[in-house]
Amino acid sequence: MDTIKSNENFKCRYFRIQKDVVKKVRARLPSDDEFASLIELFKVFTDEIKLKIIYVLFDSEVCLCELSELLTINEDEVIRQLKELERLGVVKHKHKEDMACYYLANNHIQHILVEGCIHKSHTD
């Protein structure tokens, strides 16, 4: 019964659609495919290992063995995570001598995380 009462606070008291608002917002909404891609990208932020990898790569290019050492995770698991991050366009790699060095594909991911930290600090 309490749930029903609390839901009342979220309902409109009268039903009236503002057609101009609906039209404007509908025109800006991403497609279902675009939403699916965004959801897949944002899942990166719900995985602790992927998030740690991204933080490590904020300031440095690092090789697989360094990532494994920093995160105290075996190399096979780091490789699995890196492949997923690369598939999503979050990280890239290049070969230096006999090492594969990983780095952030661009700074957009860093901005998203920084904004997330700022948001979290305002809600605490």
The side-by-side arrangement of strands in the sheet containing 91-96 is 62-63, 99-104, 91-96
64 alpha carbon, distance to own chain's centre = 22
CB 92 within 8 A of CB 106: no
Each residue's pLDDT tens digit, 32-84: 999 999 999 999 989 999 999 999 999 889 999 999 999 999 999 999 999 99
What domains can you pick out in the chain, each with its CATH number?
2-123 (1.10.10.10)
- Condensed to tens digits (0 to 9), the pLDDT of residues 76-87 reads 999 999 999 999
pLDDT tens by residue, 8-33: 777 777 778 899 999 999 999 999 99
Q: What is the pLDDT of residue 5?
A: 60
83-103 average pLDDT score: 92
CA distance between the termini of the chain = 30
pLDDT score for 96? 84
CA 61 vs CA 9, 10, 20, 75: distances in Å: 50, 48, 49, 16
